Amino acid sequence: MLDGLYSLWPGLEASVTLLSLEPPGWGANLLRGAVNSLIIALGAFGLGAVIGIFGALGKLGGGPVTRDLLSVYTTVVRAVPELILILILYYAGTDLLNQFLRLLGQRPVEISGLAAGIGVLGVVQGAYATEVLRGAIQSVPRGQLEAARAYGMTRSQTFRRVTFPAMLPLALPGLSNLWLIATKDTALLAIVGFSELTLETRQAAGSTRAYFTFFLAAGAIYLLMTLVSGRIFGWIEAHYRRGQAGARA
């Protein structure tokens, strides 16, 4: 069947060879890059969610200084291009860490691209997650919180048992959007030289001159990631919406 296709479309055979997983092809490199991208996206999304929860609680219940500092954080991150934030945080982060280590009398370390990527993108994601989660927490009906207090729950119990489960379905659309941004933002790490999917693709394309083949293949991989994760988020959302009064279909 493939032979028939090859005769119809002469370029296809060359493309398939280039994308094959064995050494003459670059498929293995692309897959390695895709795995790196996924790991960074997962790490950054997780870190961003943790920052976001604390940021949202700080914005809603913190003191005036905490609230102002958090507004500065979310405003700056949302106004400055991710690329520049990544560069600033990357250099400043490694610098600060090494100065700290020197203070302790340790030798400076080379930070792995993976850890730096997760840290930097996580800080960027955290600003957006703060806003998403703040909005979701705010729209939990007050009566539910008052009921929890009336039952004698402590603040942390109220958060774990009432606020968190009640705000999750409201936050999920925003969080799923953030996850898509996280997967796409991993491509920016190509510019600081981390070999995730986009950089691997560029190297493969540059050395074989088959630009369309590789960039389209990488596009298909990204698209697969976003479409599959969109479906997964849809399931999660449906799961948490069960039994919600006035749930939108």
Partner 1 sequence: MRGTVTGSVSGAVRDWLRPHRIGLIALALALAVWAGVSMRWDWIPRYAGLGLEGLWRTLWLLGLSILIGSAMAVPLGLAQASGPVWLAAPARWFCTVIRGTPLLLQIWLIYYGLGSLFPQYPWIRQSELWPYLRQAWPYALLALSFSFAGYEGEVMRGAFRSVPHGQLEAGRAYGFSRFAVFWRIHLPQAIARALPTLGGETVLQLKATPLVATITVIDIYAVASRVRQDTFIIYEPLLLLAVIYMIIAGLIALGFRLLENRFTRGLGV
Residue span binding partner 1 (CB under 8 A) among the ranges 103-111, 128-136, 140-148, 202-210: 202-210
Looking at the Cβ atoms of 82 and 237, the one nearer to partner 1 is 82
Cα(212)–Cα(192) distance, integer angstroms: 23
Decide: is 107 part of the binding site for partner 1 (CB under 8 A).
Answer: no
Q: What is the per-residue burial (b if ≥16 Cβ within 10 Å, else e) of 163-172? A: bbebbbbbbb
Spatial contact of 186 and 78, defined as CB atoms under 8 Å apart: no
Closest CA to 93 of 76, 71, 118: 118
Least separation in angstroms between CB 38 and partner 1: 13
Q: Which of residues 141-200 bind partner 1 (CB under 8 A)?
A: 180, 184-188, 190-191, 198
Residue span binding partner 1 (CB under 8 A) among the ranges 68-76, 108-116, 139-147, 150-158: 68-76
What does the DSSP assignment read for 177-226?
A: HHHHHHHHHGGGGGTTT--SHHHHHHHHHHHH--HHHHHHHHHHHHHHHH
Among 1, 2, 79, 104, binds partner 1 (CB under 8 A): 79
Among 216, 236, 240, 241, binds partner 1 (CB under 8 A): 216
Spatial contact of 166 and 145, defined as CB atoms under 8 Å apart: no
Decide: is 241 part of the binding site for partner 1 (CB under 8 A).
Answer: no
> Which parts of this chain interact with partner 1 (CB under 8 A)?
64-65, 68-69, 76, 78-85, 87-88, 91-92, 180, 184-188, 190-191, 198, 201-202, 205-206, 209, 211-212, 215-216, 218-219, 222-223, 226-227
